[in-house]
A = this chain, B = another copy of it.
Amino acid sequence: MTKGEDTRRMILERSAEVFNRKGYYGASMADIMEATGLEKGGIYRHFDSKDDLALEAFDFAVELVRQEFVAALKDKRHAIDRLRAIVGVYRAMPDGMPLAGGCPVLNTAIEADDTHPVLRDHARRAMDEWREFVVRVTSKGIERGQIRPEVEPDELATFIIATLEGAIMLTKLYDDATHMNRAVEYLENYIEVSVQA
């Protein structure tokens, strides 16, 4: 990477965390200047506007989360193991993994749904990809006889994602992993009892 590319990536890394913790409206350019150690001009050399930076920083944050899932699922072939691994990744997420502030898709969805259609569309695309991934894992599991044929992949994806994202909210609100641990245990049990063939 050139020095310019290094700087661009550093700005994305640090501002992704600032936006994830403080939100799009809560994070100021002063916060981003402080986090990056750059003057406003140094930031605007790489990004046209706060909006432009926020959108790229969101996509960057989503990519960090995506890599966590790729790593967790790498060695898992059985659909039930893959679903369990997906649930397992969430267990760590409220602690600030892979970036402080919790799940970027949840944070951005809540903030942008009524206020910022472009940012909301980025959150929708990230969530689409995420739901489609759970749907594919489930559909393949049904094809291979590993998951019960009566399971509806789209419905299961909504249920799993809703439960885990709600649990991140609770765990961050109370700063207490108990809520995430309970949700993970309920889902693991549900997968064993009602999903596994």
Query: Interface residues, chain A, CB within 8 Å of chain B?
Result: 21-26, 100-102, 106-107, 109-111, 113-115, 120, 123-124, 127, 154-155, 158-159, 161-167, 169-170, 172-175, 178-179, 182-183, 185-186, 190
Contact = CB atoms under 8 A, between A and B. Distances in A.
Copies of this protein in the assembly total 2
Overall SS of chain A's interface: helix
Contacts of A23: 23, 25-26, 111, 115
Contacts of A109: 169-170, 172-173
A183 B170 CA distance: 17
B173 A123 contact: yes
Nearest to A194: B193
Given A158-B170, A159-B183, A111 B114 contact: no
B186 A155 contact: yes
Contacts of A101: 114
A183 B162 contact: yes
| Closest 6 pairs between A and B when the two form their complex, measured CB to CB | A166-B166, A162-B166, A25-B26, A165-B166, A25-B25, A21-B114
B115 A173 contact: no
Contacts of A162: 162-164, 166-167, 169-170, 179, 183
A113 B182 CA distance: 20
A117 to B, nearest CB: 11
